[in-house]
A and B are shown apart, each in its own frame.
Chain A
Amino acid sequence: MTESNPTVERPLFCRFNIIAGIFITIGLWLTYLRFTGGLGAVSNLDHYNPWGFWIAFDLLCGVALAAGGYTTAAAVEIFGMKKFHAALRPAILTGFLGYSMVAFALLYDVGRPWRLPYPFVVSPGVTSVMFEVGACVALYLTVLFLEFSPTALEWIGAKKLRRIAVRLTVLLTIMGVVLSTLHQSSLGAMFLLVPSKLHPLWYSPYIPVFFFVSSIAAGLSMVIFEGTLAHNSFKDKMDEQHLKSADHIALGFGKGASFVLAAYFAIKVFGVALGNNWHLLGTNYGIWFLVEVFGFILLPCFLFAIGVREQNVKLIRWTAFLTVLGIVVNRLNVVLICFNWQLPADQRYFPHWMEIGISIFVITVGLVIYRFIVTRMPILYEHPDYKKTH
């Protein structure tokens, strides 16, 4: 390991630690309020609006943006694109932490969080889409833990266990792709239940397909975006191979994302055609829909394509950020902005600041764990004992 310098110590009171410390302190206080005063003490959720900002942002956005794990693993391990191997461990780590934070955030959102395992052990509702989502997320989180385990085992020096974990890689990748296909689409399928509550431009019988296809674009873009952040913050942890392949990964994933966004744009337009909702495009919601479809799907599709043609990595990185933002906008539209759209404004849900505060707390916890792992484990460099073995 000639290149990376994993022993570089970072000061305890750096800017990141101070800001994270403030957010975590506030978050712990909000956690105390949540678990002593109940949901009503920290949120605007009620019987009419049981799903709010936590489900929209922490869960739906979190799951979509954590899709980089299965997309990268499928590209490298199943489709044999070994040239993207340097992106695999960071993508798996992001996916693992993303799903862990989703489960963590659910503890706040579910009224009685200790009953989270009930669907599996007490009263399984096997005909429910939500059961399928819960089962897949739980299984996929386990798969991601096992996919991540070789990194941790290299760190602690457990060579025998690592060898077993590495042998499971292809099997775990296949399971990860299957489980992700199921639950990414099922998250959309949950909204098949509410055709009268969700605005017709966003509701479609094909909403599961929309969610699945958009998750692939989100995953590819998130790998580029996360790679950019890692490149800026942890350059000293990267070995030569990671530094060299960073641009190549951005170009390859940018091309893939452009292709997927082109398909996503088409099926979104087909959704409008199938519902014969053209007349709604002239309304306020219609204009917002056009902003989403043209500004956050078609525009990044072409920006990615131009970036690939011109070999403009900077453009691809900014476009990845735009795509990530677009996926967040889409999920917020489906769950919050365009949900219960017919109700008068005073009956609509608007998140309490404490809900947003808890979401920021959850993200901060994820970032602190990410930083802890990246600065210690062989994520951005190859462990010297296992070079060329994975």
Chain B
Amino acid sequence: MNEYIHTLQEFMTQTKGMLYLLSAGYLISFVAFWRFLHGRDKEDNPKVQAKK
């Protein structure tokens, strides 16, 4: 991968490009994770109700 990088411009283009792709992927997957984490917070959860 590194042998193609000769200038700071190329380095920044590659690393920033990768970072933007990762950030987009993370933001999308975080929504799924958030739903997973809070998925059973609802009142209809029998386990939650049993704890109350």
> What is A's interface to B at a CB cutoff of 8 Å?
247-248, 255, 258-259, 262, 266, 269-270, 273-276, 278-279, 305, 308-311
What distance in Å separates the Cβ of A102 from its nearest Cβ neighbour in chain B?
33
Decide yes or no: A270 and B23 within 8 Å by CB, A262-B30, A276-B14 being known contacts: yes
The answer to whether B18 and A279 touch across the interface, beta carbons within 8 angstroms, is no
List A contacts of B1 (CB < 8 A).
Answer: 276, 278-279
The answer to whether B22 and A273 touch across the interface, beta carbons within 8 angstroms, is yes
A259 to B15, CA, bound (A): 26
What distance in Å separates the Cβ of B11 from its nearest Cβ neighbour in chain A?
7
A216 to B51, CA, bound (A): 27
What distance in Å separates the Cβ of A84 from its nearest Cβ neighbour in chain B?
16
The answer to whether B39 and A276 touch across the interface, beta carbons within 8 angstroms, is no
What distance in Å separates the Cβ of A294 from its nearest Cβ neighbour in chain B?
15
List A contacts of B5 (CB < 8 A).
Answer: 276
The answer to whether B37 and A255 touch across the interface, beta carbons within 8 angstroms, is yes
A83 to B22, CA, bound (A): 37
List A contacts of B19 (CB < 8 A).
Answer: 270, 273-274
Q: What's the dominant secondary structure at chain B's contact region?
A: helix
The answer to whether A273 and B15 touch across the interface, beta carbons within 8 angstroms, is yes
User: What are the 5 closest A-B residue pairs judged by CB atoms, nearest first?
Assistant: A273-B18, A311-B47, A266-B26, A305-B37, A273-B19
Mind listing 29 A-B residue pairs with CB under 8 Å?
A247-B51, A255-B37, A259-B37, A262-B33, A266-B22, A266-B30, A269-B22, A273-B15, A273-B18, A273-B19, A274-B15, A274-B19, A276-B1, A276-B2, A276-B14, A276-B15, A278-B1, A279-B2, A305-B33, A305-B36, A308-B37, A309-B36, A309-B37, A309-B39, A309-B40, A310-B47, A311-B47, A311-B48, A311-B51
List B contacts of A310 (CB < 8 A).
Answer: 47
Q: Which chain A residue lies CB-closest to B18?
A: A273
A166 to B49, CA, bound (A): 35
Which B residues from 9 to 34 make CB contacts under 8 A with A? Answer: 11, 14-15, 18-19, 22-23, 26, 30, 33
What distance in Å separates the Cβ of A310 from its nearest Cβ neighbour in chain B?
8
A247 to B2, CA, bound (A): 50
A311 to B52, CA, bound (A): 12
The number of chain B residues touching the other chain, given as a range, is 20 to 34
Q: Which chain B residue lies CB-closest to A305?
A: B37
A258 to B51, CA, bound (A): 21
Residue among A248, A258, A309 facing the most chain B CB atoms (10 A cut-off):
A309
A308 to B40, CA, bound (A): 9
List B contacts of A248 (CB < 8 A).
Answer: 51
List A contacts of B51 (CB < 8 A).
Answer: 247-248, 311
List B contacts of A266 (CB < 8 A).
Answer: 22, 26, 30
List B contacts of A311 (CB < 8 A).
Answer: 47-48, 51
Apart from A266-B26, A305-B36, A308-B37, what 12 extra A-B contacts exist at CB < 8 Å? A255-B37, A259-B37, A266-B30, A269-B22, A274-B15, A275-B15, A276-B11, A279-B2, A308-B40, A309-B36, A309-B40, A311-B51
List B contacts of A274 (CB < 8 A).
Answer: 15, 19
Q: Which chain B residue lies CB-closest to A278?
A: B1
List B contacts of A262 (CB < 8 A).
Answer: 30, 33
List A contacts of B23 (CB < 8 A).
Answer: 270
List A contacts of B40 (CB < 8 A).
Answer: 308-309
A266 to B33, CA, bound (A): 12
Q: Which chain A residue lies CB-closest to B30?
A: A262
A80 to B37, CA, bound (A): 22
A247 to B51, CA, bound (A): 10
What distance in Å separates the Cβ of B14 from its nearest Cβ neighbour in chain A?
6
What distance in Å separates the Cβ of B22 from its nearest Cβ neighbour in chain A?
6
Residue among B1, B22, B37 facing the most chain A CB atoms (10 A cut-off):
B37
The answer to whether A258 and B37 touch across the interface, beta carbons within 8 angstroms, is yes
